[in-house]
Structure 1
């Protein structure tokens, strides 16, 4: 299957997840509920990035949705929980230092069911002289009362 076919499949998976009704408390629709929802979303984005930076496998596993789709910096598409999580857990085992400092540049949260965040990030490996500048787009869904990352797109920032 060509890359566009995988992308279409990934988009269909995200649409299926987003189309699934999610029960929410009546208070979620009120202004106070929306603020709490936004705080929970922001915390989930932080949880995803912090668990990666701290190489915390349990936290990282917990923030990833079972239907996760990643579009990598070279256009590769990775579909499914294990296919997305296992390579990251392997990376956690490397003996050298790496980190990904990041800043959220834009966020949208809709009806406490889904949201996305655009991040400006740098993947750093100081011992290897690596500093890759990325734009990361994270799409999260609220499933069973928890925010989880369902789509991650990484794009090289060209200087």
Structure 2
């Protein structure tokens, strides 16, 4: 998913992300439980990534995942998206990526997207990159999975 950085997320931040309200279309079915499941899936994606949890990360990624990276790089399919991230999990230095969900939409309890505000931080290397992340999730075989991820630099 993210070829540009990841890290541990504080419990309070993760809990806050789950509590972000979801804007649902008039045609949505499933009500609050669908919205909570979607919000939890977004949190699961980010939390598994930030904690370098390979099993959880693999489980949240859809087999047809597409990523558009911050420099326009394109990754198509499960392996092309998962394998580079699992390699990145092995880097020996410390980093973090605090994030906040700023907007979500869920449609008919089948697809939804979330816009996140994030900072990728590498203190030892003096790196602080500000991103907007757009995640699209689909409900496939009864569970939410990330099918598209777009990362955009936030221009100061």
User: Following TM superposition, by how much is the alpha carbon of 1:76 offset from its aligned partner in structure 2, in angstroms?
Assistant: 1.0
More helix by share: 1
Unaligned runs of 5+ in 2: 1-27
SS where residue 106 of structure 1 aligns?
strand
Runs of 4 or more above 3 Å deviation:
none
Cα distance in 2 for partners of 1:58, 1:99 equals 20
1:43 aligns with 2:66: no
Distance 2:53 2:138 in 1: 21
Q: Aligned pair 1:34/2:37, yes or no?
A: no
**Equivalent position of 1:84 in the other structure:** 81
2:98 corresponds in structure 1 to 101
2:138 corresponds to 1:147: no
Report how many residues are paired: 129
Q: Partners in 1 of 2:37 and 2:96 — Cα distance?
A: 24
Q: CA deviation at 1:79?
A: 0.2
Q: Which moved more, 1:96-105 or 1:64-73?
A: 96-105
Once the two structures are TM-superposed, the CA of residue 100 in structure 1 deviates from its matched residue by: 1.2
* Aligned partner of 1:117 among 114, 119, 123: 114
**Separation of aligned partners in 2, 1:52 and 1:126:** 18
- The alignment's TM-score, normalised by the length of structure 2, stands at 0.81
Give the alignment's Cα RMSD to 1 decimal: 0.9
* Residue 126 (structure 1) shift: 1.1
Unpaired stretches in structure 1, ≥5 consecutive residues = 1-27
Distance 1:41 1:49 in 2: 13
Q: Choose 1 or 2 for highest CA Rg.
A: 1
